[in-house]
Amino acid sequence: MQLHLRSIWKRALTFAVLAILAASAVWSLADGLLAPSAKAESLGLVFEVDTDADGADTDTSDKKCLTTAGKCTLRAAIQQANAIPADTDVMVAVASGFKGKVKLPNRSADLMVPTVSPPVTVSQRDNGAYLHIKRKMIVDLDNRLGLGASSDLNYGDFWVAGVFVDAANVQLKNFSDFFSTDSSIVFSPKSSGSSLIGGKDIQTTNSHGSRFVVVNGASDITLEGLVIGRLTNDSTDPAKDLQNGAIVVGLDSRSGAAVDNLTIHDVVIDNAPAVPGESVCNFASGTAVGGEGCASNGIMVVGTGQAHGWEIDNVKFRNFPSGTFAADFRNAAADGSGSPNVNDWVIKDCWFEGIETGTGFRNAALQLPAKAVGTILVTKNKFANSADQVNIQGTAISFEGPDESVSNVKILANSFDGFQATGDATIYLKRNARTVTVRFNEFGENTNATPATEPTASANVMVANAGSSTNNRVRVWKPTATALVDGRLQITATIPAFYSGSSMAMGFYGEEADIDVFATDTGHAEEFLASAREKVPPVQQSKDQEVSFLIDAPITARGWIRLQMHSDPDNGTGQGKAESSQYSELVRLPPLEDRIPKMAVDLRAWKDVPSQAQGDYSATVALSPADHELTDSPLPARVSSTTPIWFTYSVENTGLVLLRDVEVGDSDKSDICTIPTIAPGTTAGCVRGPQTLPSG
């Protein structure tokens, strides 16, 4: 049996009831698509908006989305959806072929939705909302219905959000050009499991939309596929600026709820002006040059509290001028008392471009949660200049550790270029930033680092351990010489002496430490070469000590090398004691000419080679060429076609580097053998045979 569904929508009938009872199958709306349902009593209701006017529904009990004007407004559709019993799937959609933008009136009290009175609070900065979602539903505006609100400058603190999501598992889809006078969309503490997916919301008129999304004490929220930009920053009140941005997370909600399992994926936050060069926002007059909105913050966290399981993935932060923050998570932590407050965070595959937020620790492009006690992984992110190489960021990543407890922050395999502001560190680890691992990161040639001060300073360096309590278990070793030994790169380094009052005392004597080796031809760590594991001397020393170790270095490495140290990640304590040093000073690599592989190949033919020599060239070197080597040409002049012939292939390493996996072949027989290693100054080879020459 095959079922076909077709809906005929009439102008006066702006809802549809889709119910098919056939055999045991019942169909209902889920995720905007028709899908089988196990509930026989389930009905799927769709309310279609066919006007961009505003107005309330005339009767929410009749399941008909109608205003006094005979139209279905966005407000009326949501009111009808709220009134449907909870066991029925409900969707608010936009009528086929309709496109518009809802014009909300200025602060009409009868159209606002307060939640508490007094005071009316939807969020810390939103005193009410125009639209109130009170039950599970799907609202899909198909990028065809926007929201526009008038400026609220003349209404004091009576600020209003666009949509207040006050129920669990609400799905908002394709909200484009959707702006209220303060927050566009607010998720309440009751909205766990809800999502906002799809939409482009770049403010092109300065209507003072200060925040696009507010997550106010809700967990399991997903924000995905959004393009957001140019919200309003209140330059007259810097404290309020910290509560504004494209995405604002309120951890100190009135309910006191934590914000767990927040997912922000595939989002673009871009402040590029509508007209190049016209980027001034005049807050006082409510207008902007060229008509565009204001450059605004990106992702902001307001207040303190618990925040577990956050994933910030593939978010692009672009064009943040001075006075704005790209990603400020500094407040997403508690008081550093020791219990995990920020745990299982992943910030990966994000892009920071054109950041110009000033200098100093507080103005980093990515500010990690301060005093965090828990795991935070920052990996595979890219920090770069804008395309015009004008906007320059001082500090890329900053982190301030907890007062008494260890954290577990890992900054791994990120790429940095263009962070040139003087007086800054690209990665700035401040007070009590213990157990922070910084490894395998790459720094481009535009990074403004001073190699001579790299090991100890907190400014003009790639990584700063600023403060005596910051990663204080490890000090960087100073490389003093490099050489080629048996084909490998030998690095000689000085272990600094321990002394009282050292800002970075060596606290892991007798343990093993990882040493990362980087190569650079511009003065910055650009290419990771290899790691070595060496044991730190077992006791404190009052004078410098010298140590040498070997690595296998690619022959393409040139210029200089620098080191970075990492203490043991556990040391049997179970607390995760991994800590990373700053980068070392530089030391020259051996000349590239000395590291180019060189070899000499010799092919010979033999007769009467003992069978035990087959496949083992070392057994043939003792043979007497006078008795066994065939040197006449042509060979058939001395041997018959039935004489067994052996061929030897010898490879001499005439260079200074170790040769690995040397493949030996011949024109008439490929892949004779593979020689695993050939040390400098030695010869190795293989034998092929016996073989008879062809007759004639």
Coil, strand or helix at 593: helix
pLDDT band at 332 (very low <50, low <70, confident <90, very high): confident
pLDDT band at 433 (very low <50, low <70, confident <90, very high): confident
Whether 424 and 394 have beta carbons less than 8 Å apart is answered as yes
pLDDT of residue 422: 62
Cβ burial 39-77 (10 Å sphere, 16+ → b, else e): eeebbbbbbbbbbbebbebeebeeebbbbeeebbbbbbb
DSSP state of 361: G
pLDDT band at 506 (very low <50, low <70, confident <90, very high): very low
- Which residues does 571 contact at the CB level (< 8 Å), separation at least 6? 508, 511, 577
41 pLDDT above the threshold of 60: no
Q: What angle do CA 400, 401, 402 make, to 5 degrees?
A: 130
Which of 93-107, 392-406, 426-440, 563-577 shows the lowest per-residue confidence on average (mean pLDDT)? Answer: 563-577
Rounded CA separation 304/163 (Å):
25
pLDDT band at 315 (very low <50, low <70, confident <90, very high): very high
DSSP state of 10: B
DSSP state of 535: E
Cβ burial, residue 674 (10 Å; 0-12/13-18/19+): exposed
**Sheet strand arrangement including 545-551:** 478-485, 488-495, 545-551
114 pLDDT above the threshold of 60: no
Coil, strand or helix at 123: coil
Which of 24-38, 357-371, 639-653 shows the lowest per-residue confidence on average (mean pLDDT)? Answer: 24-38
Rounded CA separation 545/216 (Å):
55
pLDDT of residue 386: 59
Rounded CA separation 135/166 (Å):
7
Rounded CA separation 240/287 (Å):
20
pLDDT band at 26 (very low <50, low <70, confident <90, very high): very low
684 vs 206, more confident: 684
Bridge partners (DSSP) of residue 42 are: none
pLDDT of residue 597: 80
User: Cα 204 from chain centroid?
Assistant: 28
Question: What is the arithmetic mean of pLDDT over 299-325?
Answer: 87
The structure tokens listed for 106 are 């200025």
pLDDT one-digit tens code per residue, 509-555: 567 778 999 988 877 777 888 999 887 766 556 678 888 999 887 76
pLDDT of residue 502: 41
Query: What is the pairing mode between strands 366-367 and 160-165?
Result: unpaired
Amino acid at 455: P
Q: What's phi and psi for 383, nearest 5 deg?
A: -115, 120
- Which residues does 617 contact at the CB level (< 8 Å), separation at least 6? 648, 649, 650, 684, 685, 686, 687
pLDDT of residue 215: 92
pLDDT of residue 668: 64
Task: Compute the 3-state secondary structure of the chain and give helix, strand, coil in percent, each to the nearest 5.
Answer: 5, 40, 55
592 pLDDT above the threshold of 50: yes
Rounded CA separation 680/488 (Å):
10
Which of 3-17, 118-132, 251-265, 492-506 shows the lowest per-residue confidence on average (mean pLDDT)? Answer: 3-17
69 pLDDT above the threshold of 80: yes
Cβ burial, residue 503 (10 Å; 0-12/13-18/19+): middle
Whether 166 and 190 have beta carbons less than 8 Å apart is answered as yes
Highest-pLDDT range among 10-19, 470-479, 526-535: 526-535
DSSP state of 79: H
Residue 535's CB is within 10 A of a number of other CB atoms, namely: 11
The structure tokens listed for 443 are 């720094």
Rounded CA separation 180/210 (Å):
9
- Which residues does 105 contact at the CB level (< 8 Å), separation at least 6? 54, 111, 150
**Three-class secondary structure assignment of 172-198:** EECCCCECCCCEEEEECCCCCCCEEEE
Of the CA atoms within 13 Å of residue 137, those in its CB half-sphere come to: 25
Rounded CA separation 416/385 (Å):
9
Mean pLDDT, rounded, of the chain = 74
Cβ burial 140-178 (10 Å sphere, 16+ → b, else e): bbbbbbbbbbbbbeeeeeebbbbbbbbbbebbbbbbbbb
| pTM listed for this prediction | 0.79
Q: Return the percentage of the chain with pLDDT > 70, whole number.
A: 67
Residue 657's CB is within 10 A of a number of other CB atoms, namely: 22
Rounded CA separation 454/465 (Å):
10
Rounded CA separation 208/211 (Å):
9
Question: What is the arithmetic mean of pLDDT over 337-360?
Answer: 79
DSSP state of 496: P
pLDDT of residue 266: 97
Which of 75-84, 417-426, 457-466 shows the lowest per-residue confidence on average (mean pLDDT)? Answer: 417-426
pLDDT band at 407 (very low <50, low <70, confident <90, very high): confident
